[in-house]
Structures are given as structure tokens and as C-alpha cells.
Structure 1
């Protein structure tokens, strides 16, 4: 099992709009790609960053699913965040593999 983690640092001035948009628009579009099994969203409580920090986690079985997602869908979705929220949201990603 693998995990595609997207961490978002969100300015407090847009956090309510961002959360609603993530719930109603962004995450459903990502899940509709069929590349991920399930999704979890977390608020990071002990983040040293200004604003609010969130982790969106997308689980998948094979690395090929992730590669296909990144090649086909990720650029468009990243652009949507940038166009909607600009510098108010900073995002970075990581990939993790279940080992135990």
C-alpha cells in the first residue's frame, strides 16, 4: 500500500473557503480519477507554520497508479489551486510506502 500525501499551508484569511472547496470540489475530482482507493484529510495541530496546515492523503495499491495520476491529472489540479488561491496556499507532496 502506498500513500500520496499533499500538505497544504493555508492562510487564515482563506481557510474556510479552501476547506469547503476541498470537500465539495477538489477531493471529489481527484477521487473520480479512479487512481486512488480512499482518502483522508487531517489538520496538523503542531505545525510550526503560520496559518493552518492540512494533510490530504490518497491511498493507492501500485506505483503505476500514482505515475498515471501525476502525468495525466496532477498538473491541472495544481493549476486550479494556484488560480483559485494564489499565494494564500502553499502545497508540497510526498509519497510513502506501508512497511509494517
Structure 2
């Protein structure tokens, strides 16, 4: 199992808009690519940071599917996200593998 994790620190005044966008638009679009078998949105509760920190996690069974997603789908979806929340967030991505 491979987890593609996107950690986003979002400004507090728009975090509700972010959650709705993720649940109703962005995450369904990511899942529609067919590259992941499940996803979840988590809120970081400790340690506390400036803003509110969320982790969107997408599960896949093959590294090749993740590579295809990152090459062929991710740039457009990241662009759409940037347009929606320009200058209101910081994000970084990580990949984890179950042992």
C-alpha cells in the first residue's frame, strides 16, 4: 500500500471553504482519475501551527499509478487549487509505503 499525502496549512479565515472544496470538488476529482482506491481528509490537532493544518491522504496499490497521476493529472488539479486559494496556503507532498 502506498499513501500519497498532501499536507496543507490553510489560513484560518477560509478553512471551512477549504474543507468543502476538498470534500465536494478536489478529492472527488482526484478519485475520478482511477489511480487511487481510497482517500481521507485529516485535521492535525497537535502540534498547533499558524493557520490550520490538514492532510489529504490518497491510497494506491501501485507506485506506477501514483507516478502516472503525478505526471498526467496532478499539474491541472494543483493549478485549479491554486486559483481557488491563491496566497492563502502552504502545501507539501510526501509518499509513504506500508511495511
How many residues align? The count is 99
Taking structure 1 as the reference length, the TM-score comes to 0.95
Q: CA RMSD in A?
A: 0.8
Provide the residue aligned with 1:36 in structure 2. Answer: 36
4+ aligned runs moved over 4 Å, structure 1: none
Q: Please identify, of 30-39 and 81-90, the stretch whose mean Cα deviation from structure 2 is larger.
A: 81-90
Which 5+ residue runs of structure 1 have no aligned equivalent?
none
Which 5+ residue runs of structure 2 have no aligned equivalent?
none
1:18-63 residue CA offsets vs partner (Å, 9 max, x unmatched): 1111110000000000000000111000134211000000000110
Taking structure 2 as the reference length, the TM-score comes to 0.96
